[in-house]
Structure 1
Amino acid sequence: MHRYILWAVAAVLVLLLVRRMRNSNRNRRNLPPGPRGWPIVGNLPQVAGEGQIWRLLTKWKYEYGSLTYLNMGGQDLIVINSRRAALEILERRSAMYSHRPRHIVCEYLGGDMAMPFTGYTRTWQNMRRATHEVLNNQAAVQYHPVQTEEAVILVQKLLFDHSSTLREKLNASAATMLSVIYGRKSVNASFLPSSQEGKPAVTVSASPDRLLLTSDILQSLANIGHRFTSSVYPGSYLVDAFPILEHVPEFLAPWKRDAMRDRKDMSKAFQTYYEEALKNDDNRESLCARLTDTSLGGNLTDEEKWWVTGVVSVAALETTSTTLAYFIFAMTLYPEVQRKAHEELDRVIGRTQNPNFSDMMNLPYIRAVVKEILRWNPPLPVVVPRIALEDDRYGDYFIPKGAAVFENLWGMNYDKEVYGPDVEDFRPERFLQQTEKGDELEIKPEYENEDGHSSYGFGRRKCVGKHVADNALFIGICTILWAVDIKPVECKIDLARHTLDTVNPIPDFQCKFVPRFEGLDSFLQQLRDNFEYFRQHKDSEQQI
């Protein structure tokens, strides 16, 4: 055993010396500026263990500019901090920047099968093409009815479900996307690989090196997501900075044993979810059924189908639930915003009918709230790095071949030159202007067909489900504000909790939900009864 350790230490020292010599040569090239690092290990100690790395990167942005250079133990890392630079590098030169660098722990977990983490390969292209077919802007319209229904269900839960936590209620808000992928019956079912039965419903954040699956599909998907995102957090694993450590024997590398175990459990879970969906989807409308019944999945193996549906579900869950949590949090902090939204909803919709997608263009303030919540607290403040396939330049700066290129989405969303000096504030008005008559508000022309934020990423790696996600957030936020007053409860609010995860941690806060008008409970139940009636009627017609 001691012999293995000595060989490993010697190999690491040789590798560090080689990388140091290589970096000394690169210093003569015009790399972007960045913080001074330590000898040999560079900036790795400054980043490793730093909770909410996006805040540190944004601090460096204002010191070093739109590009920041970091030396991560010999690995070049270029941080993109401005939207202008991201559009030029990741959009206009997307062919050069769509591949992923190797994340060894993530790869052992299944990153080679998970679309957000796998390289720009034929497998990735087949997965992306299949999901785009069911999630693109035109396809997103067909999900409006179920999204409207899920918004009503969410309001009912917020008001009358006193047995679930706020997080559990918001997780359930992702049921729209999951029903698109797995079918409604599967989402409402409880199924679990037998090897995981009886394990408690706890989040993986409590033990980032151990995946815990439960009988609750939503909880399990959330745990899988955090297991992956914590595995790619910069500095989380020494082996990603020094790949030679991958060859250390397994008994000296517990990360390897843990990752292979969790990959097996994830794959089994995804297979179970997929097969249950095929069994339960009588109408064959889910993504699982379409991958099986049509040419959509013709270029994917069975295992790739399990993984693409599972991973898209994980991404949808985190995006929807985290963003809605920050929306509710914002309403407790900014009651004036809530008041203005209530006024617009009362004027446009009234209280005798619920909001619908046909109301969207007449609700500019609500649309601005959606844009602002994604700018103010994006669910993924940083994303998995790309890799430069060739030597490149941006302005006067050199980007070396093989460098990891890291999108600091938080820094882009908090750009004071774009959004003004009050970027820390939640202010939907930054996307609005007065109409020509001056008596109403409208979305500024530059934001009418643009996101107004960078939270969905750039280029060929841009979020494939952004249209469905935007629609879900609009109708969810609209329905919540139409139905309830969100009242803060006196409590200690912690916004800076330590996390070694690329997912924005939900703040610890409390609030209460108060119906905005009498008879809301019976009105919501009537809406649900109507939804159920029309769904059963539709199912009967399809069977005929």
Structure 2
Amino acid sequence: MLLWLAAILVLPLVRLLFKDQARKHLPPGPRGWPILGNLSQVAGESQIWHLFDKWKYEYGALTYLNLFGKDFIVINTREAALELLERRSAMYSDRPRFYVLEYIGGEMAMPFAKYTKAWQNMRRATHEVLHNQAAQSYHPVQTEEAIILAHKLLFDSSLTLREKINGSAAIVLSVVYGKRSLSIGSEELPKPTVDNSDSPDSDLLLTSDPLQSLSNIGHRFTSSGYPGSYLVDVFPILDYFPAFMAKWKSDAIRDRIRVGSFFQRYYDDAAQNDKHRSSLCAKLTDTKLASGLTIEEKAWVAGITSVAGLETTSTTLSFFLYAMCLNPEIQHRAHKELDYVIGRSHSPMFADMKNLPYIRAIVKEVLRWNPALPVIVPRKASEDDWYKGHFIPKGAAMMLNLWSMNYDTDVYGPDVKEFRPERFLQQCEKTGEYILKPEFENEDGHSSYGFGRRKCIGRYIADNALFIDMSTILWALNIEAVASDKPVVQKKVLDTINPIPDFQCKLTPRFRGVDSVLQQLRDEVAQAREE
């Protein structure tokens, strides 16, 4: 009996001493201040991935930060990410607590939710309609949307370049809600009048434009998960303040209701009116795998999927156009491949993909060169762990520094800052033609879609959309930089989304008659949709 009592008293002390010794082996990191730790170095730092990249070269694969007593570890290399998030995924699939994200609806938003049974149900149901084989069913509508985008880029002078690119993300509406982006018929999404009068200084603006509203919702979530955005994440005691005394809390609670109502309205409309039952919403109403989800959870699955797809698609296409402006020789080589494989009488199709290795390499290089999300909302270590002699304490927030992984000179060579699709290609010994390297036939070649159980679930649809959009634009248009006295700059924002440079480009027909071909193709799409 005495031995049992002694063990009960001594074992916690032994564990405490062991933990204290283990903490001496935390990963290296920048020196911080007493009490605050590294908080002052991180809070308010825009485009934080550049700071993390700088620290990577000083401290290695893992960088340790102390944010007012909280353990925060940045994963800087693909090797470390694969080991921790793939091979040990059971220990690194949860999320740390972000209070504002939680109040906005983080428990319902799959990319931000904690690793619970409800999350697993949402993930499983979404995978059912977005996996690689299912993604092929969306090829026809993606091809149509690519034609509409190229037509709009060439002919529509009423919109800015940014507005046109945002419109390209309407493919997401087709996939998720079964609605077509072409504004000619009755299949547009409902456009509710949204009242923002009760919150003129709100962080979240919802409008009658569904694409703009979804984009604003996305930024509300991603900025709320940005390190140091809210003091409550550093000082949890602030959460005890009632909403009427804490504006951040009252705003978040209000926005949770508004976002939920927005998602529900669009889900209900799609579930009732998708005649072909081809959308994510329609399939969520039918599939057995979604039977464990409530109606509200299904609406949030659809809404957050559309938000994620919209931001990644529009941001990546913007960087694609920027890359083409900076690298006319790459654009010229892509034109040659398209002329050789496709010709000029019809636009690219998915059947051409296997014969367009250079275009596929451009897609991969854009995603590597400027990922839409250079850093991702942190995971949480669910138990104590070790990696190459470094201690990872239970509860530590683990942030993926995708930027540094994509700019790793050990993986991509010393020219990582250059836009060079050739890094994914090799010369065929028999024909002398360039082909995609075998390791990239079924692999991304970049880290932009994340790792483990939380890897981007819509990556197959995203890759397909980017391929057909980029190939159609390159087939139809010349992309030229517009000279300006003002330097191209990126906005300084506290957000995990990569800000798009403020650039302008000139888009003109690439060959004689392409404008007529494009108009005819667009008219055929319009007629088919009207019928």
What TM bracket, shorter-length normalisation?
over 0.9
Q: Classify 1:248/1:133 alpha carbon distance in 2 versus 1 (closer, same or farther; 3 Å).
A: same
Q: Deviations over 1:365-419 (max 9, x none)?
A: 1111000000000000000100001100011100000001110000100001111
Q: 1:173 aligns with which of 157, 162, 168?
A: 168
- How far apart in 2 are the matches of 1:210 and 1:527? 41
* Consecutive unaligned residues in structure 1, runs of 5 or more: 1-20, 201-206, 538-544
Contact 1:193–1:268 (8 Å) recurs in 2: no
The one-letter amino acid paired with 2:121 is N
Contact 2:373–2:498 (8 Å) recurs in 1: yes
Q: Shift of residue 536 of structure 1? A: 6.5
Q: Deviations over 1:507-531 (max 9, x none)?
A: 1000110101222222112223333
- Following superposition of structure 1 onto structure 2, how do residues 208-247 of structure 1 map, counting pairs within 5 Å? 210-247=203-240
Q: Identity of aligned pairs, percent?
A: 66
Contact 1:197–1:214 (8 Å) recurs in 2: no
Tell me, yes or no, if structure 1 residue 420 matches structure 2 residue 408: no
Contact 2:22–2:391 (8 Å) recurs in 1: no
Residue of structure 1 equivalent to 2:13: none
Q: Classify 1:445/1:495 alpha carbon distance in 2 versus 1 (closer, same or farther; 3 Å).
A: farther
- How far apart in 1 are the matches of 2:473 and 2:279? 27
Residue of structure 2 equivalent to 1:507: 501
* Consecutive unaligned residues in structure 2, runs of 5 or more: 1-15, 181-185
The one-letter amino acid paired with 1:501 is D
- How far apart in 1 are the matches of 2:353 and 2:521? 20
Residue of structure 2 equivalent to 1:346: 339
- How far apart in 1 are the matches of 2:193 and 2:302? 17
Aligned partner of residue 383 in structure 1, secondary structure: strand
Contact 1:199–1:214 (8 Å) recurs in 2: no
Q: 1:146 aligns with which of 137, 141, 147?
A: 141
- Following superposition of structure 1 onto structure 2, how do residues 458-469 of structure 1 map, counting pairs within 5 Å? 458-469=451-462
Aligned partner of residue 147 in structure 1, secondary structure: helix
The one-letter amino acid paired with 2:177 is Y
Tell me, yes or no, if structure 1 residue 62 matches structure 2 residue 62: no
- How far apart in 2 are the matches of 1:160 and 1:112? 43
- How far apart in 1 are the matches of 2:487 and 2:441? 34
- Following superposition of structure 1 onto structure 2, how do residues 159-308 of structure 1 map, counting pairs within 5 Å? 159-184=154-179, 188-192=188-192, 194-196=194-196, 210-308=203-301
- How far apart in 2 are the matches of 1:250 and 1:184? 38
Residue of structure 2 equivalent to 1:323: 316
Q: Shift of residue 192 of structure 1? A: 2.2
Contact 1:179–1:187 (8 Å) recurs in 2: no
- How far apart in 2 are the matches of 1:36 and 1:461? 31
- How far apart in 1 are the matches of 2:396 and 2:381? 5
Tell me, yes or no, if structure 1 residue 368 matches structure 2 residue 367: no
Q: Shift of residue 535 of structure 1? A: 5.4
Residue of structure 2 equivalent to 1:526: 520
Q: Classify 1:244/1:490 alpha carbon distance in 2 versus 1 (closer, same or farther; 3 Å).
A: same
Tell me, yes or no, if structure 1 residue 52 matches structure 2 residue 39: no
Q: 2:28 aligns with which of 19, 30, 33?
A: 33
Q: Shift of residue 222 of structure 1? A: 0.1
The one-letter amino acid paired with 2:502 is D
Q: Shift of residue 443 of structure 1? A: 1.1
Q: Shift of residue 496 of structure 1? A: 4.0
Aligned length in residues: 510
- How far apart in 2 are the matches of 1:247 and 1:302? 31
TM-score by length of 1: 0.90
TM-score by length of 2: 0.92
Contact 2:93–2:454 (8 Å) recurs in 1: yes
Q: Classify 1:28/1:124 alpha carbon distance in 2 versus 1 (closer, same or farther; 3 Å).
A: closer
Aligned partner of residue 513 in structure 1, secondary structure: strand
Residue of structure 2 equivalent to 1:15: none
Q: 1:100 aligns with which of 87, 90, 95?
A: 95
Q: Classify 1:284/1:445 alpha carbon distance in 2 versus 1 (closer, same or farther; 3 Å).
A: closer
Q: Deviations over 1:27-46 (max 9, x none)?
A: 85300000001110111110
- How far apart in 2 are the matches of 1:154 and 1:233? 32
- Between 58-67 and 244-253, the greater mean CA deviation after superposition: 244-253
- How far apart in 2 are the matches of 1:26 and 1:299? 45
Aligned partner of residue 362 in structure 2, secondary structure: helix
Residue of structure 2 equivalent to 1:13: none
- Following superposition of structure 1 onto structure 2, how do residues 67-82 of structure 1 map, counting pairs within 5 Å? 67-82=62-77
- How far apart in 1 are the matches of 2:522 and 2:417? 38
Aligned partner of residue 29 in structure 1, secondary structure: helix
- How far apart in 2 are the matches of 1:268 and 1:430? 46
The one-letter amino acid paired with 1:241 is V
Q: Shift of residue 280 of structure 1? A: 2.6
Aligned partner of residue 229 in structure 1, secondary structure: helix
The one-letter amino acid paired with 2:263 is F
Contact 2:147–2:522 (8 Å) recurs in 1: yes
Q: Deviations over 1:78-133 (max 9, x none)?
A: 11000000000000000110000110010011101100000111111111111111
Residue of structure 2 equivalent to 1:125: 120
Contact 2:131–2:457 (8 Å) recurs in 1: yes
Q: Classify 1:287/1:198 alpha carbon distance in 2 versus 1 (closer, same or farther; 3 Å).
A: farther
Q: Shift of residue 72 of structure 1? A: 1.0
Aligned partner of residue 398 in structure 2, secondary structure: strand
Q: Classify 1:187/1:35 alpha carbon distance in 2 versus 1 (closer, same or farther; 3 Å).
A: farther
Contact 2:490–2:500 (8 Å) recurs in 1: no
